[in-house]
Amino acid sequence: MTSARQNILARLQAVKTGMLKQLSPKPAAKQIDSALEVFSRCLEQNHAEVLQVDQRNLPATLEQLLQKKAIQSLITTEEFAYLTSVKQLEVVSATKAKALNKDDLFYQVDAGLTLAKFGIAETGSLVLWLDQHQPRSISLVPPIHICVLCADNLYPTFAEFISSMNMYCSGVLPTNVVLVSGPSKTADIQQTLAYGAHGPKQLIVLIVNPESDLTTAFGS
Amino acid sequence: MALEPARFKQNARDALKDQILRKNFRGAMDFLRKKRSAMFPDPEYFATLSSYGESVKQQALSQLPDLLLQLEKNCQNNGIQVWWAENADEANQHVLRIIHENSGHKVVKGKSMVSEETGLNDFLQQHDIECIETDMGEYIVQQSGEHPSHIIMPAIHKNVQQIASLFEQIIPGATYTEDVDTLIRMARDEMRQHFYTADIGITGVNFAVASTGTLCLVENEGNGRMSTTIPKIHIAMMGIEKVVAELADIPYLLELLTKSATGQAISTYFNMISSPRKEGEIDGPEQVHLILVDNGRSQAYADEELRQTLQCIRCGACMNHCPVYTRIGGHAYGTVYPGPIGKIISPHLLGLESTQDLPTASSLCGACEEVCPVKIPIPKLLQRLRVESNKASGQAQIMRGQGSSRTRTEALIWQIWSYCCIHPRLYHLLSKMAAMFGFIMPLLKSPWKINRAMPKPAKEDFMSQYKRKKS
Amino acid sequence: MNIPIKIYPAKPAKVYLYVTCLVNHFSPTTGMDAINLLEREGIEVEVITEQTCCGQPAYNSGYVEQSKQVALSQLELFSLPIPIVILSGSCGGMMRKHYPDLLADHPKVHEFSQRVYELSEFLLHVCQIKLQDNGTATTVTLHTSCSGRREMGIHTTGLKLLSQLNQVTVVEHEYSHECCGFGGTFSVKQADISASMVEDKSKYLSQSNCDSFVSTDWGCMLNINGALQYQSSPLRGEHLATFLNRRLKKAEEVL
């Protein structure tokens, strides 16, 4: 117990603040029709690229995207390990290593590919759930961030997401949760917008329409 | 450049003459006001949301010590180390100790107004610790040897030509260019090596959630995430009033903050940190420290009316709408926090005796209160600070420096004035005399006459005219 | 700031008139014009000649005790339960919004403050006035005091009254929402800043190319007119009451 702590608490506790102030009415919960459309539109307005893809087309789409963006070195997690088979692409694993190689991350890698666990439609936000399966820096340091989100995991608003959050973490949040709503930007120079301040200059979001087992079983 | 609130009048005078500064600020404030206005097209929605935000903050403040204890406990359970600082010096000493204990040599800073308040950068420099501001605006002001002039857009007082010249000087290999994309790229490339090599990252905290022990940071650039991810130590500095009770409070406060500050539905990144790197994780800081800073806030806390000052979520909307701030800019105040919020918080941080001009530097127009997302009654608090500034001695001790503006002359003037006002016959006699001798008024010396003609009393005042016509 | 919804009474037979100290000393015509407008609506106007000042100057300067004494003396003059029509948005705000804080323990303060109406809102919402315009075509711009705008909500009422005049075109001046820089003692205590604000405001008014400008607040107008006079500008502000009265008068003169 340091004396600063005791002194501050004593000063605050000495104040009679009376009854706990009641909360005023919340604004009505926002109605988001066509969440997917709102989500995509917000991201595009914030300068992100958005692609919708069926689950079975995801690997091919990713490969095309990597080619289109001339990405030769990619850092990613286990879910995308299959990309090692892509020609002329170096895949750096972000989870196999014990620690991240800073040189690779800062100076070698062209793009980071991650999964977003959830999305929030109202603000066009990807929810990165960062723990031992998803490192923090691969969506941050490389100049391009490619992010895959399953369309089923889209929440209408941040408030609704938070009220469901306990389902995923029983009151203990992961190390880091980051809402990403576009590529990095700043307007600090004469209020003129510029992208790629410190985080990625490009954000590409792939929204995956999951296919039910039924559909793939019977073909389309 | 030292911060001197005592030089306010002179600073204001100088700023008012600076046509470039006035043009820069007018343009910037118009821009920010338009952006905010576009995000709140429905006044009823804003009224409901801001009332809700106000009540969330007031509820949190009404249980502040309990929330701080809960925050401390949950942070500690998560592995975040928590320290308490009564004043600026203690806060800085905590930072230094943590750096030394970890043999740190280089700091990268995400934006932190509290660290400006404590003068952290200068302090670390005196102790030979290299400290780089990484927020673009903060980087620009640091490299210019200046202080921020706005709490959200620190370099708002500079135009692109000034920044282009600056970068040409300070960034190795840089040539003069006014192309903003190029300038940002130059700064980004320059900053990468600092993120790479720094071992300490220092940031502020926008909201701290007591129930989960989570620190929330709002940003657009990514330098905050960099500073809280790459270096092995993360130190977060936070004013004690920033704690909220529940995660569920966050979406509403976040919406109020980003829409009010920069007219965005949400910032590019919203970063929620609940622990240092855990077992099995391959990046993130090994240690996270939270420093809780008082520095005069508990003085505001102790008074029910003044406590409302602590509702502030640091959006900057008040200064964007302030006709005084628009004309004199942020530096003239001589305080870390400028504008309306600066005027009501600085007396608690620095003492009323050091900030005597601040409570009077307002016409009480109320433009700030109209847009405050947590409904702080700023004009009322300014009027209250004027009461405290002019208090006679021997009254209840509420604020450091109370009574420091009181002069016998002014006290006498208001005594005489009130005596006349409550004695109508005397008042009307004086009024008749003023009408008779009114021609003297334009001859009197007065600061009014800088650019105005003195008004002359009418030859016959209303009451005399009225009585005459009635009879 | 939420202006609580005001409940306007039915048109009364009689009202008190609070002219305000600035009208008393600097523009008695405004008081006479206000009486005329109210009497034309069939309302008897009582002027308590003992009235002096609402107490705002001391209140805003932090001298609460002195302000309280004055406020109390004013409150006690207006004992009949009839509306008090006041000729200033800022004095109106003082009585309506700040008296209940200042005289919190007084048993009559709420009843009193709720009887206070600024002239333009009274004419529009209580008298339901219908104005006849008998003047020639003209343009006018309206400057509303900050307290009038934000404490009393009277910017809209002033505009509505002006828009009833069919020969009058209302133009908006640039940054019309912005403070003119008066702020009572602010104009002398922070004279440099105040000067820059009134310089801008007078420039915007002049640049609006209006024939005249009107206001519901003599504090603002002493400030702005002083600046215009210093600049040798022909433009001068007058009170809304005077402007309205003049637009109506011609008909009576003709008849």
Express each pLDDT in C119-178 by its tens digit: 999 999 999 999 999 999 999 999 999 999 999 999 999 999 999 999 999 999 999 999
For the residues of A120-143, what is the DSSP string, one character each? ETTTTEEEEEESSSS-SGGGTSSS
Order of all β-strands in the sheet with A111-116: A49-54, A202-209, A144-150, A111-116, A73-76, A90-93
Q: How far apart (Å, rounded) are the C-alpha atoms in residues A94 and B7?
A: 55
**Cα atoms in the 13 Å half-sphere on the side-chain side of C215:** 31
- By the 8 A CB rule, do C109 and C98 touch? no
Does residue C1 carry a pLDDT above 60? no
**What is the pLDDT, as a whole number, of residue A2?**
59
Total of domains in chain A: 1
Tokens representing B131 are 């400290």
**Is B459's pLDDT higher than 50?**
yes
**Minimal Cα distance from B288: which residue of A?**
A175
In this complex, do C190 and B360 lie within 8 Å of one another by their Cβ atoms?
yes
Alpha carbon separation from B226 to A76, B410, C62 (Å, rounded): 18, 54, 48
pLDDT in the model for residue A169: 78
Q: Strands across the sheet with C237-239, in order?
A: C168-171, C138-143, C212-215, C237-239
- Mean pLDDT, rounded, of chain A: 91
Span B205-216, pLDDT tens digits: 999 999 999 999
The domain in which residue A49 lies consists of 33-185+199-211
**Taking the domain C138-254, which CATH number applies?**
3.40.50
Q: What is the pLDDT of residue C254?
A: 47
Contact B451 C227 (CB under 8 A): yes
**Is residue A104 situated within a structural domain?**
yes
Q: Average pLDDT for residues C203-210, to the nearest whole number?
A: 94
Res. A196 pLDDT band, cuts 50 70 90: very high
CATH code, domain with A96: 3.40.50.10420
Min Cα separation C166/chain B (Å): 31
Q: Any idea where the domains of chain C sit in the sequence?
A: 14-126, 138-254
B115-139 confidence digits (pLDDT tens): 999 999 999 999 999 999 999 999 9
Q: Give the neighbours of chain C: at least 3 Cβ pairs within 8 Å.
A: B
Q: Is the pLDDT of residue B316 over 60?
A: yes
* Facing residue for B323 by CB, picked from C28, C67, C178: C178
Q: What is the pLDDT of residues C6-54, one digit of tens each?
A: 889 999 999 999 999 999 999 999 999 999 999 999 999 999 999 999 9
Q: From 3.40.50.2300, 3.20.20.140, 3.40.50.10420, 1.10.3720.10, which CATH number describes the B5-158+199-298 domain?
A: 3.40.50.10420
Q: Look at residues A125, A146, A151, A179 and name the one whose alpha carbon lies nearest to residue A55.
A: A151
Containing H/E element for B81?
strand B80-85
Whether the CB of B305 is below 8 Å from some CB of chain A: the reply is no
**In this model, does residue C113 exceed pLDDT 80?**
yes
Q: How confident is the model at residue C2 (pLDDT cuts 50, 70, 90)?
A: low
Asked if the Cβ–Cβ distance from B64 to A12 is below 8 Å, we say: yes
Q: Rounded mean pLDDT of chain B?
A: 95
Output B73 or C2, whichever has higher pLDDT. Answer: B73
pLDDT at A21: 82
Q: Which of B21, B365, B459, B471 to mutate to test the interface with C (most CBs of C within 10 A)?
A: B365
Q: Chain B partners of A178 at a C-beta cutoff of 8 Å?
A: 225, 269-272
- Per the structure block, which two tokens stand in for A174? 């992961």
Mean pLDDT, rounded, for A190-210: 95
What per-residue confidence (pLDDT) applies to A92?
86
Among B451, B459, B465, B471, the strongest candidate for a mutation testing the C interface, having the largest count of C CBs within 10 A, is: B451
CB atoms within 10 A of CB A86: 16
Residue B143 above 90 pLDDT? yes
Separation between Cα atoms, residue A27 and residue B162, nearest integer Å:
44
Mean pLDDT score, B138-158 = 92
Question: Is B223's Cβ below 8 Å from some Cβ in A?
Answer: yes
Nearest CB to C27 within list B13, B458, B467: B458
Q: Nearest residue on chain B to C227, judged by CA atoms?
A: B452
Looking at the complex, report in whole angstroms how far the Cα of residue A147 sits from the nearest Cα belonging to chain B: 14
Is the residue at A4 inside a domain?
no
Q: Mean pLDDT across the stretch A149-178? A: 91
pLDDT per position as a tens digit, C67-99: 999 999 999 999 999 999 999 999 999 999 999
Interhelix angle B180-197/B136-143, nearest 10 degrees: 90
Q: What is the pLDDT of residue A100?
A: 79
> Average pLDDT of B169-190?
94
Partner residue facing B221 (CB), from A130, A141, A199? A199
pLDDT of residue A212: 58
Give the pLDDT confidence of A27-62 residue by residue, as tens digits: 999 899 999 999 999 999 999 999 999 999 999 999
Whether A95 is in a domain gets the answer yes
Q: What pLDDT, on a 0 to 100 scale, did the predictor assign at position A220?
A: 35
* Alpha carbons A108 and A90: distance in angstroms, whole number: 10
Give me the numbers of helices (H) and strands (E) for chain A, helices first please. 7, 12
pLDDT in tens, B399-430: 999 999 999 999 999 999 999 999 999 999 99
**Ranges for all domains in chain B classified under CATH 3.40.50.10420:** 5-158+199-298
What average pLDDT does range A74-93 have in this prediction?
90
* Identity of the residue in B84, B276, B284 whose CB atom sits nearest the CB atom of A8: B84
Sequence-ordered list of residues with C-beta below 8 angstroms from that of A198, at least 6 positions apart, any chain: A184, B134, B188, B191, B195, B221, B222, B223, B226
Averaged over B325-333, what is the pLDDT?
96
- State the pLDDT at residue B421: 97
Q: What is the pLDDT of residue B435?
A: 87
- Read off the pLDDT band of C253 (50, 70, 90): low
Give mean pLDDT, residues A130-156.
96
Write down which chains contact chain A via at least 3 CB pairs under 8 A.
B
Tell whether A194 lies on the interface with B, counting CB pairs under 8 A: yes
Contacts of B301 in chain A (CB under 8 A): 11-12, 15
Q: How many CB pairs under 8 A join B and C?
A: 182
* pLDDT class of C250 with cuts at 50, 70, 90: low
Q: Band of the pLDDT at A214, cuts 50, 70, 90?
A: very low
Is pLDDT of B262 > 90?
Answer: yes
CB of B420 within 8 Å of a chain C CB? The answer is yes
